[in-house]
Amino acid sequence: MIEIRFHGRGGQGAVVASKILADAAFREDNDVQAFPYFGVERRGAPVTAFTKIDNKHIRNKAMIYQPDYVIILEASLISAVNVTEGLKENGLVLVNTRDDPDEVAERLGVKRAACIDATQVAIDNKLGSKFQPIVNTAIVGAFAKVSGVVKKESVVDAILTLPRYAERNAQAARDAYDRVKVSGGA
């Protein structure tokens, strides 16, 4: 089973991101689960969401404590939440930031990090406002590239079912797929 934990703030779309990723994996004939762990439902509050992907039926309904991947929709959460808690030794952290992935890997004390300026990608594609861009579709596009867990096409197909701005969101995923950088120069 592949387990992915999302950290975002209320209003950024972490919960929808967990569902888009699950939907993409589901399109590739996997069993999946996507679910949020809400604190209080309000804008700006830290939100955690989970996606589980497996090629056999998933019965485990517990939250994720040892993720293979951690996806951080906003870099400021790094100082607010223990984002790397339980991360598997060879796990990867994907962060929405302009910073260099080698530097981020060192700062977080992890072996592998990937960085995407999803905020810029969202603004370029007119998703949300300049002050509150919706970065979730961009970050899932970046995740497809750095993890190889799902194909870009599956992510795009999942996004195209969104009720609003589907094409702009799909383009954000494609852009982020092309621009994401991984530590170690990969």
Per-residue contact flags (x/-) with another protein for residues 29 to 68, judged by CB under 8 A: --xxxxxxxx--x----------------xxxxxx-x---
| CA distances, 12 to each of 9, 92, 132, 144, 184 (Å) | 6, 21, 8, 19, 29
Q: Provide the minimum distance between the beta carbon of 167 and another protein in the complex, in angstroms, as a whole number.
A: 21
The residue among 26 and 165 lying less far from another protein, judged by its C-beta, is 26
The residue among 90 and 161 lying less far from another protein, judged by its C-beta, is 161
Contact in structure between 52 and 33 (CB atoms under 8 Å): yes
CB atoms within 10 A of CB 66: 12
The residue among 5 and 112 lying less far from another protein, judged by its C-beta, is 5
Q: Provide the minimum distance between the beta carbon of 35 and another protein in the complex, in angstroms, as a whole number.
A: 4
As a whole number of angstroms, the distance between CA 23 and CA 26 comes to 5
The residue among 54 and 102 lying less far from another protein, judged by its C-beta, is 54
Q: Provide the minimum distance between the beta carbon of 112 and another protein in the complex, in angstroms, as a whole number.
A: 26
Q: Provide the minimum distance between the beta carbon of 19 and another protein in the complex, in angstroms, as a whole number.
A: 5
Q: Provide the minimum distance between the beta carbon of 33 and another protein in the complex, in angstroms, as a whole number.
A: 5
Q: What is the DSSP string of 45-97?
A: SEEEEEEEEESS-----S--SS-SEEEES-GGGGGTS-TTTT--TT-EEEEES
26 touches another protein (CB under 8 A):
yes
22 touches another protein (CB under 8 A):
yes
Q: Which of 8, 16, 7 is nearest to 164 (CA)?
A: 16
